[in-house]
Amino acid sequence: MPAPRLAKVEHLHVDYARDRYAGHPRQGGIFNFGQGEIAVIYNRAPCVYRNYSDVKHDLGGYHSRAQIILARSFDGGGTWDRADDVVIFDERAPIEERRAFVRQVQADPAIAREPIDLAAADSAIFFGRTYAGEGRAPSMLCYALRSADRGHSWESVPTPVEPPREHGMVHKDGHPLVQMPDGTQLAAMTVGLPTGGVVLYGSDDNGLSWEPLARVCQDHTGDGRPTYAGLLLLPSGRLQCYTLNIDGLRDAIQMNYSDDGGYSWSQPRPIVCWGRSPWAARRRETGTLQAAAGKHYRSPWPMKLADGRTLVLFARRKIPRGIGLVVSEDDGATWSDEQILRDDGPTTDLGYPVATEVEPGRIFTAYYFTMDDGNGFGGTRYIAGSSFRLG
């Protein structure tokens, strides 16, 4: 298929300030509560942009001094009211305090929990990660927090999410849960060593517990790993899992499927194609001659549209850097060529898009980007947004 046409493309700022780093919304998620009200969860930390540790990710970097923020818009992403921000979690709290918070259920299995219906229109769930495990180098602890009131308040007792046996860690990005017909939920999560890969987790108690059910995919070469997992449930009952395979077998966006509720999965296949790239033509057009490190694909976000099409947004960290997309009109059997949403990223530090269809045919996506505004290391990292229609 040819690349889809885009119309009414608008770019905006969701959260920008020169004295902070706002990033990685795919680790938090996006929620569409209807009537134009949407919420995005992301990391926000003070930042002076002078040393590498100021912009470094994960342990020892900006994540270690970040708060988890929920920002809200009431007009489909057009404007964002900073006064309505909610702090969900504070990574700056002492490690003992964070560890005790995550492990409340393990310390007291009889602790009272709130009844929250995850299928309700006003509910939300956030899967967090914090480096608060025991050991000389603290390991990552994964947990889930639920909200019954559109993210205005969050439960005080989280659900710890444990890795499968013999795996060092597990984490889940903010792609929506799959709600099954019987009221249970499914989530695809990334697991760590020794083999890595993506594992399907299930909950039959509205998120009070999460258990591993089946392995979705891994890189059989042993040199790479799939991650950034996102699940879709088709009207036929087929489950699809979209991932990025990093190194090893391939470095590309891929998809596989299950027809038995997630217990067995097909082999992943790429949904992108080499040799038909609009990015290469754009690079020649702009006269960008220098070689540069960076990945063609990062952090895919799959979503089903009201008209039945499947849209996958992704980041590109190789010049020209930006946000792109592909579309399928036949439930993933075939895919369009890539389309460029924007290609003006000044550094590789960008991506992690989240997206929702705010009205039929109009999509809003939020992601983090770099503003070349004089700050060090390429400029300020901020949450950007784009609104567009698919032709």
**Is residue 258 classed exposed, middle or buried when 0-12, 13-18 and 19+ CB atoms within 10 A define those classes?**
buried
pLDDT of residue 81: 84
pLDDT in tens, 99-108: 999 999 999 9
pLDDT of residue 291: 61
Arithmetic mean of pLDDT, 189-201: 90
More confident residue, 227 or 84: 227
**Domain 6-390: which CATH class?**
mainly beta
Q: What is the mean pLDDT of the chain?
A: 95
Q: Would the pLDDT of 194 be above 80?
A: no
CA proximity to 85, closest of 39, 121, 46? 39
pLDDT in tens, 55-73: 999 888 999 999 999 999 9
What secondary structure does DSSP assign to 122-149, as a single string? T-EEEEEEEE--STTTTPEEEEEEEESS
Arithmetic mean of pLDDT, 247-256: 96
pLDDT in tens, 337-356: 999 999 999 999 999 999 99
Q: Would the pLDDT of 195 be above 80?
A: no
Q: Would the pLDDT of 245 be above 80?
A: yes
CA proximity to 150, closest of 119, 125, 123, 176? 123
pLDDT in tens, 160-178: 999 998 888 999 999 999 9
pLDDT of residue 168: 83
pLDDT in tens, 205-218: 999 999 999 999 99
pLDDT of residue 84: 84
Residues whose CB falls within 8 Å of the CB of residue 78, separated by 6 or more in sequence, listed in order: 12, 387
Question: What is the residue extent of each domain of the chain?
Answer: 6-390
Separation CA 120–CA 44 (nearest Å):
28
More confident residue, 80 or 391: 80
pLDDT of residue 22: 98
Separation CA 56–CA 29 (nearest Å):
21
Arithmetic mean of pLDDT, 28-45: 97
pLDDT of residue 285: 78
More confident residue, 184 or 133: 184
Separation CA 11–CA 20 (nearest Å):
20
pLDDT of residue 283: 80
pLDDT of residue 287: 65
Q: Would the pLDDT of 183 be above 90?
A: yes
Q: Would the pLDDT of 313 be above 90?
A: yes
Q: How confident is residue 293, by pLDDT bands cut at 50, 70 and 90?
A: confident
Q: How confident is residue 288, by pLDDT bands cut at 50, 70 and 90?
A: low
Separation CA 23–CA 347 (nearest Å):
14
Label each residue of 368-388 as H, E or C.
Answer: EEEECCCCCCCCEEEEEEEEE
Q: Would the pLDDT of 132 be above 80?
A: yes
Cβ neighbours of 200 (radius 10 Å): 25
Angle CA 139–106–141, to nearest 5: 20
Q: Would the pLDDT of 333 be above 90?
A: yes
Q: How many residues does the chain have?
A: 391
Contact 124, 31 (CB under 8 A): yes
